[in-house]
Amino acid sequence: MQNVDRWHQTQRIRAYVTAYKNAVDSGQLRLANEQQFEKWFDWASRLANSIDPILATPLPEGTPTTRQNTSVTDLNLTAAARVAINKLAVADTDALWQQKQSHIREACAGKFGPVWNEITRFWKRFIMT
């Protein structure tokens, strides 16, 4: 269900970006800065692709080009994910990768879904590249 929700979110983002571009292209909306719009349009399209559970394309900003083991203290985590990872007592992304879903669920202080999504995004970015 989480992937379905992410896919729907992706579709809403793409629909909005397309509608905005169509309004610009048709002249219904005038831009103050066309270059800034093109950068935003490119970024929004890449954002949608990164959220899409089917494509799961990483955003280029800050994405390592090769696999790298990273200390969990260097990860930009939400408070809920930080609490869960601290309870797991893992030192780095390699150790985090070894955790079972059930262990992560037990370590969550609240809703499991958002923490699981956050951790799996780190797996894709730091471990699976």
Residues 46 and 76 in one domain: no
What is the reported pLDDT for 124?
54
What is the reported pLDDT for 46?
86
Six token digits for residue 14: 């793409």
Q: Which residues of the chain have pLDDT under 70?
A: 59-67, 122-129
**Residues 6 or more apart whose Cβ sits within 8 Å of residue 88:** 96, 99, 103, 104, 107
Is residue 97, in this structure, part of any structural domain at all? yes
Portion of the chain with pLDDT greater than 90, in percent: 18
Q: Give how far the C-alpha of residue 45 lies from the chain's centroid of Cα atoms, to the nearest Å.
A: 13
Q: Which amino acid is residue 82, in one-letter code?
A: R
Surface-to-core class of residue 62, CB atoms within 10 Å of its CB (0-12 exposed, 13-18 middle, 19+ buried): exposed
Six token digits for residue 9: 């979110």
Q: Which of 122, 97, 101 is nearest to 112 (CA)?
A: 101
What is the reported pLDDT for 5?
87
Is residue 119, in this structure, part of any structural domain at all? yes
Is residue 117, in this structure, part of any structural domain at all? yes
Residue 73 per-residue DSSP state: G
**Residues 6 or more apart whose Cβ sits within 8 Å of residue 120:** none
Residues 79 and 113 in one domain: yes
Residue span of the structural domain in which 33 resides:
2-51
Q: Structural domain tally of the chain?
A: 2
Is residue 62, in this structure, part of any structural domain at all? no
Six token digits for residue 64: 């390592």
Six token digits for residue 10: 């992706």
- The answer to pTM > 0.75 is no
Which H or E element spans position 43?
helix 34-51
